[in-house]
Structures are given as C-alpha cells and as structure tokens.
Structure 1
Amino acid sequence: MPRLKLTLEYDGTRYVGWQMQPNGPSIQAVMQDTLARLLGEPVVVNSAGRTDSGVHAEGQVACFDTARVLPLKAYRMGLNGMLPSDIAVVAAEEVPAEFDPRRWSRGKRYRYRVSNRPTRSPLRRDTHWEVFAPLDVEAMRRAARVLEGRHDFSAFRASDCQAKHAMREIRSLRVEGTRGDAVSFVVEGTAFLKHMVRNLVGTLVDVGKGKRPEAWVAEVLASLDRKRAGPTAPPQGLVLEEVFYGDGPPGGDEDED
C-alpha cells in the first residue's frame, strides 16, 4: 500500500490548529475529508507537528496510506483544485512504508513575524504580532545568543506541555528586520516544547521594548520557571517554515510544538 508524503502551505487563521478538535475546523479534518473525496476511501493523515489555532505553515509535512495508485500530479494539481483557498499542497512524493513525519524529523525551522509599525496594519493583522512600541533589534539579537545550544527550556514551555523532559537544542536563533517596520525571529531546532517559540519571542520582545535588560534572558533560562519569562506571543505571527529529514528515523527528543 503506497504511503504518500505531502508538503503543505496554509493560512491557519480560521482553523483551530492541525489536530482534529470538536470546537471548530482543523487542517487535519479538511485534508482527510478532501483526500477521501479524491481517493474514494477514508484515510488518516498524520503530520510532523500540531500547529496551534491561528498558526500558519509554509512547509508542514503530512503523510497517509492509500490503496489507490494515482500519479503525483493528482495530489499537486487535483487535490489543490478541491482544497479551500487557504490550504495548498506544494509538493507530493511516495515514501517508504515506515516513514513517520514526526519521528523521522531531524529538526524544524519556525519564523515568528512582528509588525513594529507605530500604527496598526490591516494587511498584517492575521500574519504578524503588532507591537507598536519601537523595538531595539540589536538588544534582542544579543539577548538571543544565550538561548542557542542544548538547554533545559522549562522556563519557556506551556503549563500543560506533556513532554517527558524540557531538554531541547536550538541550532540557531536569528533576529532579522528593522526597528519600526517588520521584525522576524527565525528559530531552528531539533524539537520544540508546546508554545516554546512563542514564549521565547515574548521574552525577547520584553527586552526589545526596554522593559528588561539583556542579561535577564539568561536568568530566565537558568531559573527553569515559566513565571519568570515574558508573555506568550500571539499565534498569528508564527509560521512553520520547514521540516528537515535524513534517510531514516533519528531518535532523540520528542516534539510538542
């Protein structure tokens, strides 16, 4: 039975997240319903990560098994003709039967976008966190350096995070952009805790606003106390840009993003 891997792009604004939930439409439910119509059989679609309500993706990875054999263009073109305009398949390929989009992942890259204009932006309201106070980009950049590497990120995990431990590795954390316009936090790591990226961003933005000194970020990290960190940045600024894979399952940390 073929196993198909799809790379998805979506605007998460009107969805409750990836995972099927009783309180509203999910990306998973839409994908499963649309694939069932295309294939003429029910399928279960699993993903590389459970993006939250309002979170977007450029490179979400999903896979499913089907008894039907269709050309790959049926998923790139035919499926896109059936999906709503805020979800699209950007690539499709057949993968080994043992491929698991979550367990085989060797890391992910997220981008969190902030609009730092002094006034609100109608075009950015669903894709950026609007922070009107001018941000010191260089201060945030310096403060972010301490977060790179392998650490216990307990201070940056959601209170209901179910991960067995909080040790995670951030390969890189870049702060890009211009004070007074658009600022991005680009975070690449092996795996992430629930709300980890949004909590990191909320903490660094407190530094950018001048509410906290740069050295405070290291103190928060060492404290292992979520109450010491900054606020959780809102979901609409977050984009899953890419999921990285090798030739097989890597093992290691579990993802809770």
Structure 2
Amino acid sequence: MPRYRMTIEYDGSPFSGWQRQAGQASVQAAIEDAVSRLGQSEPTLFGAGRTDAGVHGLGQVAHIDLEKTWLPEKLMAAINAQLRPDPVSVFDIHEVDDSFHARFSALARHYEYRIRDSRTPPALDRHRVWWVPYRLDEAAMHAAAQELTGHHDFTTFRSSQCQSKSPVKTLDRLDVCRDGRDVIVRASARSFLHNQVRSLVGTLKLAGEGKWSAADIREALQAADRSACGPVAPPQGLYLVRVDYSDDG
C-alpha cells in the first residue's frame, strides 16, 4: 500500500481538536471522511501532533496508507474538493517510504502563540488571538522565557491529563517579540507535553504584566508542581506552525 505524507492547514475554531472523537467534529475525522469518499475503505490518518480544541494548524503533517496509487497533485485536489466547506486544506502531498511516520519520525515541532494586547477587541481575528486589553512588556516576557529553555522537568507546565511517560523535555527555543499589534511567542522542541505551550504562555503573561519576575518564573519551573503554574492561555491563539523531518533538506 502506498504511503502519502501531507501538510495541512486548518482553522481549529469549529473542531474538538485534531484527534477523532465519537460524536464530535475533528480535523482527523474531516480528512479521513474526505478520503473515504474517494473509495478508500476505513482510512486512518496519523498526525504529527494532537492539537486541542480551538488550536490552529499552519503546517500540521500527517501520513496515510491508501489502497491504490495516486498522482500526488490529483490526490490533493480530490481531498480538498471533498473537504469543502470545512476550514481544512491540504497544501502539499507526496509519496513516502513506509518507514516514514508523521509522529515518530519528527525531529522538531514549532508552535506560535499570538496575543493581541490592545484596548480594542479584535474583530476578524477574535478566534485567532488571545485578546488582552492592556499593553504587555514583551521584553520582560522574553527575558523570563529564557529561564525555561533547555532540558528540564516541566511538571509545572504539564496538564494533569497528560499521558506522556515523563515530564522531562528539552525546550530548544522560547522567544517573545512584537509583530505589529501582536505579541508573538515562538516555541520549538522535539516534542511537547499536553498543554505545555499554553501553560508557558499563560505564565509568561504574568511577567508581561509586571506581576512576576524572571526569578519567579525560574522558581515555578523548579517547583515541579502544577499548582505553581500561571493561568493557562486559551487555545485560540495557538498555532502548530511546522514539523521538521530528516529528509526535508
């Protein structure tokens, strides 16, 4: 059976998340259902990461095994035609070796979180940013973020529902900058714990408000205690931007 790797973007607003769930709309189910209408029986899509309800994808990667061989561009057009009107689009497909696995072959995952810190609420972006109605200090947030990079026990920033075997992860990058009206938080690692990025962002917001110092952030990390975490940022500002693999060149 030929295996196809696809890169996907989606607006997570109407979905319960990436993963198929009984009785709820999900990104995985939308694509699997689209593929099934092309004559594939019981298609199973494997994603690089399970984004939560309301979280968006700019470069989610998934793979699927099909019963017949397709020209990639025809397969992409056919899937996208079946996906309408769902806010999901496949913008790249190519055939890969069966040793490729969207989740287990990934070398790095890159997330971005967008905060709109303005007195006026967003209109067009209201489901795509976290609106904070006052100015944040992005420089203080970036300085505090550097306390969190590296190899650590991230229990403080881990959901109680996280199924990862270990809370120890290596956070390769956590940067904060301003881009126009938005404060942007960018995080990169081989893998993340459940709710880790949103937990980090919510805690960094306290530094942006002047309520916490970089030392407070460091103490929260070292506590290895979920109760030491700041408020968890809402899902709508989070984007899975890119997933890296060894054959990407």
TM-score after normalising by structure 1: 0.92
Q: Aligned residue for 1:144?
A: 145
Let me know the Cα RMSD of the aligned residues: 1.5
Q: Aligned residue for 2:132?
A: 131
Q: CA deviation at 1:191?
A: 0.7
Q: Distance in 2 between matches of 1:75 and 1:122?
A: 35
1:60–1:243 contact (8 Å) kept in structure 2: yes
1:158–1:194 contact (8 Å) kept in structure 2: yes
Q: Distance in 2 between matches of 1:161 and 1:98?
A: 27
Q: Distance in 2 between matches of 1:175 and 1:66?
A: 41
Q: Aligned residue for 2:45?
A: 45
Q: Aligned residue for 1:195?
A: 195
Identity of aligned residues (%): 38
Q: CA deviation at 1:197?
A: 0.1
- Confirm or deny that 1:66 pairs with 2:66: yes
Q: Distance in 2 between matches of 1:75 and 1:200?
A: 38
After superposition, residues 83-98 of structure 1 pair within 5 angstroms as: 83-85=83-85, 86-98=87-99
Going from structure 1 to structure 2, the CA distance change for 1:219 and 1:77 (only over 3 Å counts) comes to same
- Confirm or deny that 1:231 pairs with 2:231: yes
Q: CA deviation at 1:200?
A: 0.2
Q: Aligned residue for 2:182?
A: 182
2:147–2:214 contact (8 Å) kept in structure 1: no
Q: Distance in 2 between matches of 1:222 and 1:40?
A: 50
1:75–1:89 contact (8 Å) kept in structure 2: no
Q: Which amino acid aligns with 2:66?
A: T
Unaligned runs of 5+ in 1: 249-257
2:130–2:237 contact (8 Å) kept in structure 1: yes
Unaligned runs of 5+ in 2: none
Q: Aligned residue for 1:167?
A: 168
Number of residues of Structure 1 aligned to a counterpart in Structure 2: 247
Q: CA deviation at 1:6?
A: 0.6
Q: CA deviation at 1:71?
A: 0.6
Q: CA deviation at 1:178?
A: 5.6
Q: CA deviation at 1:40?
A: 4.2
Summarize deviations over 1:52-92 as a string: whole Å, max 9, x none: 00000011111111111111112322221221341001100
Q: Aligned residue for 1:14?
A: 14
Name the SS of the counterpart of 2:203 in structure 1: helix
Q: Distance in 2 between matches of 1:178 and 1:135?
A: 13
- Confirm or deny that 1:222 pairs with 2:227: no
